[in-house]
């Protein structure tokens, strides 16, 4: 390994990047766009669901209840069907996603407390709606009881430690750093290397004394810098717009990101040794990208996944990064406490990079 | 340590298959030092494949290669410090400027910075690139690209230059300049292997190999090859050379015909019987013609060597 030669490849790479407007725009554009999209769109505090109310009791108390529920903002009562059949039709047509049904004997049920006084009908074909239903179920209906009596205390008190306001961006933004890095790092490197081969530059390069390690590392190093810039962009916007806390050490954030960037770049380099065209490289990048997003715990909770999916998830760098970054940003965990995740990332990067360098032959066949 | 007087390139039985295609088929080559050695051959005759095997970029399917004393492909890495390779397709970076490309090549070859700067300046001047130094290589004209590629190939002062069709997109004036540059390098002791489609360029080589369908069909100095041409070249002057060509095309003993302006150039067997058949055929067709033997040129050699020789198919593996 010759450092001057390595450096000359890095410089060449940076010069090319500077002239590649599209890539350059993507470096800052992708993180910004994704952050805003995900930050605003993935919002699990569902509000303003289209709903109907079927009030069969028609008493002062039932009307009071409807007002209380409407005030919670979760449901917007747009329809008042007169029969359960009408209600079912609305639900089936998709006109409403939830309905509040108040039975004729509402007040008696409320007073006796042996049967549920209310029914909340929800569209189970939509996961988000079910989530909202759970929110509603927690409404303090006991206050409506007549005569007033103290609400029974729950058996378990839930204490939300790191996100007391239960704001979604606090959970999504840290993981989003992983999503953005995975997308850009894997894709950029894989394409950049295959492009060199497609354009014929490689035939010239491999006829010189340059070594496979210099060739690979020279390609990867500039992207490390770019990855760190992206981390900064997401952190900055995340803190400024979504008030995401940085509770742990900033150095730890960057160290974890650095190792994750290297692991992602290694994956990109590895894909480039398999792909023949830039299009193939892109397809492969997306092929690795989807399972990472789905299984890493960023979108769906890891604990809820079946065993084989969990094993698979353990292989992906993003799984470990999501744990690291949530730990550091939200729980103020230190890298020392999270070292197994960091080690897994490091191992992933080292193995793939090594395999890729071994697979890089200075030959055309 | 490779000796300095030994040939620059020795290849024996060099072969390369791509599936069933024998791209290069048992080629023997010897290239002496400080010479321009030409590779002449039609499209697909295996010129690029041979050059790639000589610099270790492709593995031969058979045969032995020694370049500058190094066994190839085993010792390809040390060889790469001492050769310059100019690919057929422009392979420098389109999105780097002329100067940046040369600086990059200098660094890849580990030229000390001060020396690299001097070399880059000298080459920019010598190859008329000084005014273009800041232009992106992708926006250069064909000829300018080739000057840049040559400058890049000679930057580290290699002992052996392998040039794959270096003048394919270049006007005649620039081609002449290009060849002047090559001879200057040869005077300085560089060995040059160059592939080409152009007869005038082939004519200028010290020695020439003609490849056809992967096989070496002629090898020697251009004049030797012309003199050793089996058969005669007849120049037929007549009113209707095209009809004369049709008339003679299938005559036994006629190897090839080509219309050159108002006359027809015929490559034929040297015996008297063939000559008599040609005269008779023209007479039968009612074509009044003046027939004169003429000196064979390299094109005749090329045509004679490469005509109607089907590619040998490799047996299925
Ligand atoms: N990588 C490859 N895979 C399959 N076939 C190949 C490959 N490279 C070359 N060939 C075949 O080998 C033969 C020789 O090709 P080569 O490029 O060496 O010819 P060439 O003499 O350089 O032709 P040209 O003058 O057109 O450049 C051709 O038939 C070509 O199709
Ligand atoms: Mg070729």
Q: What is the pLDDT of residue A153?
A: 46
Ligand 1, residues at Cβ distance < 6 Å:
B 18, 21, 23, 41, 43-49, 88
Q: Which residue has the higher pLDDT, B149 or A109?
A: B149
B55 interaction partners in chain A (CB closer than 8 Å) = 207
Same domain, residue pair B13 and B31: yes
Same domain, residue pair B76 and B179: yes
Cα of B239 to ligand 2 centre, how many Å?
Answer: 39
Same domain, residue pair B71 and B181: yes
Average pLDDT over residues B297-310: 76
pLDDT tens-digit profile of B217-273? Answer: 989 998 888 888 888 888 888 888 888 888 888 888 888 888 888 888 888 888 888
Same domain, residue pair B197 and B253: no
| CATH number of the domain enclosing B218 | 3.40.50.300
Same domain, residue pair B78 and B16: yes
Same domain, residue pair B205 and B234: no
Q: What is the pLDDT of residue A48?
A: 80
Total residues found in chain A within this entry? 365
- Residues in chain A with pLDDT values less than 70: 42-46, 127-128, 131-132, 135-168
pLDDT confidence of B33, banded at 50, 70, 90?
very high
Same domain, residue pair B176 and B62: yes
Last-in-domain residue among B201, B223, B245: B223
Q: Assess if residue B132 is contained within a domain.
A: no
Q: Assess if residue B29 is contained within a domain.
A: yes
Number of structural domains in chain B: 2
Q: What is the pLDDT of residue A198?
A: 92
Q: Assess if residue B55 is contained within a domain.
A: yes
Q: Flag whether pLDDT at B311 surpasses 90.
A: no
- Give yes or no for A201 touching B (CB within 8 A): yes
Q: Assess if residue B275 is contained within a domain.
A: yes
- Give yes or no for A112 touching B (CB within 8 A): no
- Give yes or no for A4 touching B (CB within 8 A): yes
CA-angle at B93, arms to B91 and B94, nearest 5°: 105
CA A280/CA A135 separation, integer angstroms: 45
Q: Flag whether pLDDT at B3 surpasses 70.
A: no
Q: What are phi and psi of B292, to 5 degrees?
A: -135, 135
Q: What is the crossing angle of helices A317-331 and A250-274, to 10°? A: 170
Residue ranges per structural domain of chain A: 49-161, 167-359
Q: Assess if residue B168 is contained within a domain.
A: yes
Q: What is the pLDDT of residue A149?
A: 44
**Of A8, A205, A362, Cβ closest to residue B107:** A8
Same domain, residue pair B212 and B238: no
Instruction: Kindly state the helix (H) or strand (E) to which residue B197 belongs, with its residue range.
Output: none
Same domain, residue pair B207 and B234: no
Residue nearest atom 29 in ligand 1 by C-alpha distance: B44
Residue A138: exposure state from Cβ atoms within 10 A (0-12, 13-18, ≥19):
exposed
First to last CA, chain A: 24
CA A151/CA A259 separation, integer angstroms: 51
Residue nearest atom 12 in ligand 1 by C-alpha distance: B23
Q: What is the pLDDT of residue A43?
A: 60
Cα of B56 to ligand 1 centre, how many Å?
Answer: 16
Same domain, residue pair B169 and B191: yes
Residue B189 domain boundaries = 9-82+158-223
CA B266/CA B25 separation, integer angstroms: 30
Average pLDDT over residues B145-172: 92
Q: What is the pLDDT of residue A160?
A: 63
Q: Which letter, b or e, does each residue of A47-58 get, where b requires 16 or more Cβ atoms within 10 Å of its Cβ?
A: eebbbbbbbebe
Q: What is the pLDDT of residue B111?
A: 94
Q: What is the pLDDT of residue A141?
A: 57
Q: What is the pLDDT of residue A138?
A: 65
Largest CA distance in chain B: 76
Question: What's the CATH class of domain A49-161?
Answer: alpha beta
pLDDT tens-digit profile of B167-213? Answer: 987 888 888 889 999 999 999 999 999 999 888 899 999 999 999 99
Chain B residues 118-137 with CB within 8 Å of chain A: 136
β pairing state of A49-55 and A98-102: parallel
Same domain, residue pair B17 and B74: yes
* B242 in Cβ contact with B289 (< 8 Å): no
Query: Which of A12, A192, A193, A211 is the mutation pick for testing B, counting most B CBs within 10 A?
Result: A12
Q: Assess if residue B201 is contained within a domain.
A: yes
Q: Assess if residue B141 is contained within a domain.
A: no
Q: Flag whether pLDDT at B2 surpasses 60.
A: no
Cβ distance of A12 and B81 shorter than 8 Å: no
Question: Ligand 1, closest atom to CA B42?
Answer: 25
Residue of A nearest to B90 (CA): A200
Tally helices (H) and strands (E) across chain B.
11, 14
* A208 in Cβ contact with B109 (< 8 Å): yes
Query: ipTM score of the complex?
Result: 0.85
Residue nearest atom 11 in ligand 1 by C-alpha distance: B23
Question: DSSP strand E in chain B: where?
Answer: 9-18, 21-31, 36-40, 62-67, 70-72, 83-86, 160-164, 191-196, 207-212, 215-220, 232-238, 254-260, 263-268, 289-294
Q: What is the pLDDT of residue A63?
A: 87
Select from A263, A253, A305 the least CA-distant residue to A288.
A263
Strand order in the sheet with B70-72: B21-31, B9-18, B62-67, B70-72
Residue nearest atom 30 in ligand 1 by C-alpha distance: B44
Q: Around Cβ A235, how many Cβ atoms within 10 Å? A: 23
Residue of B nearest to A212 (CA): B77
């Amino acid at each position: 390994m010759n450092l001057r030669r390595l450096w000359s490849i890095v410089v060449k790479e940076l010069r090319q990047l500077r002239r590649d407007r599209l890539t350059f725009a993507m470096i800052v554009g992708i993180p910004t766009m994704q952050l805003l999209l995900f930050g605003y769109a993935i919002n699990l505090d569902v509000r303003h669901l289209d709903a109907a109310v079927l009030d069969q009791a028609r008493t002062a108390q039932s009307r009071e209840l409807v007002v209380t529920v409407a005030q919670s903002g979760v449901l917007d009562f747009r329809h008042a069907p007169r029969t359960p059949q009408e209600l079912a039709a609305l639900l089936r047509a998709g006109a409403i996603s939830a309905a509040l049904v108040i039975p004729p004997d509402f007040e008696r049920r409320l007073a006796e407390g042996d049967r549920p006084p209310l029914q909340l009908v929800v569209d189970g074909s939509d996961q988000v709606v079910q989530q909202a239903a759970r929110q509603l179920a927690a409404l303090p209906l006991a206050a409506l009881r007549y005569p007033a009596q103290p609400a029974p205390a729950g058996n378990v008190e839930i204490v939300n430690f790191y996100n007391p306001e239960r704001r979604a961006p606090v959970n999504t933004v840290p993981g989003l750093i992983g999503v953005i890095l995975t997308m850009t790092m894997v894709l950029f490197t894989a394409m950049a290397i295959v492009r060199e081969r497609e354009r014929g530059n490689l035939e010239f390069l491999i006829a010189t004394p340059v070594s496979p390690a210099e060739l690979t590392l020279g390609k990867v190093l500039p992207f490390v810098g770019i990855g760190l810039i992206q981390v900064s962009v997401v952190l900055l916007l995340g803190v400024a717009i979504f008030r995401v806390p940085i509770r742990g050490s900033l150095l730890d954030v960057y160290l974890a990101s650095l190792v994750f960037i290297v692991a992602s770049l290694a994956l990109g380099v590895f894909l480039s040794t398999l792909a023949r065209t830039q299009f193939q490289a892109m397809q492969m990048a997306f092929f690795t990208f989807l399972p990472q997003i789905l299984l890493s715990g960023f979108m769906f909770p890891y604990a809820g996944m079946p065993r084989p999916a969990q094993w698979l998830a353990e292989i992906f760098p993003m799984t470990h990064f999501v744990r690291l970054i949530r730990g550091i940003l939200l729980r103020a965990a230190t890298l020392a406490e999270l070292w197994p995740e960091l080690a897994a990332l490091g191992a992933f990067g080292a193995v793939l990079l090594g395999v890729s360098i071994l697979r890089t032959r200075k030959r055309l066949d | 340590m490779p000796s300095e007087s030994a040939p620059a390139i020795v290849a024996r039985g060099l072969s390369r298959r791509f599936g069933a295609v024998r791209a290069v088929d048992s080629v023997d080559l010897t290239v002496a030092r400080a010479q321009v050695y030409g590779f002449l051959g039609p499209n697909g005759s295996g010129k690029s494949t041979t050059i790639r095997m000589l610099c270790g970029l492709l593995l031969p399917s058979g045969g032995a290669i020694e370049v500058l004393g190094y066994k190839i492909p085993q010792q390809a890495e040390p060889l790469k410090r001492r050769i310059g390779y100019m690919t057929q397709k422009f392979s420098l970076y389109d999105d780097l400027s002329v100067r940046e490309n040369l600086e990059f090549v200098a660094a890849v070859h580990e030229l000390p910075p001060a020396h690299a700067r001097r070399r880059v300046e000298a080459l920019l001047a010598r190859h008329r690139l000084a005014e273009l130094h800041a232009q992106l290589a992708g926006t250069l004209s064909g000829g300018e690209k080739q000057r840049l590629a040559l400058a890049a190939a000679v930057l580290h002062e290699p002992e052996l230059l392998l040039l794959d069709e270096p003048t394919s997109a270049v006007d005649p004036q620039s081609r002449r300049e290009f060849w002047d540059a090559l001879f200057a390098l040869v005077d300085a002791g560089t060995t040059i292997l160059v592939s080409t489609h152009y007869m005038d360029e082939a004519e200028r080589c010290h020695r020439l190999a003609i490849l056809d369908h992967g096989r070496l069909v002629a090898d020697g100095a251009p004049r030797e090859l012309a003199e050793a041409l089996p058969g005669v070249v007849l120049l037929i002057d007549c009113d209707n050379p095209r009809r004369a060509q049709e008339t003679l095309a299938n005559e036994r003993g006629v190897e090839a015909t080509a219309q050159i302006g108002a006359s027809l150039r015929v490559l034929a067997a040297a015996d008297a019987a063939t000559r008599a058949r040609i005269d008779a055929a023209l007479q039968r067709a009612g074509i009044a013609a003046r027939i004169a033997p003429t000196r064979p040129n390299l094109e005749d050699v090329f045509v004679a060597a490469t005509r109607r020789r089907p590619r040998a198919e490799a047996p299925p593996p």
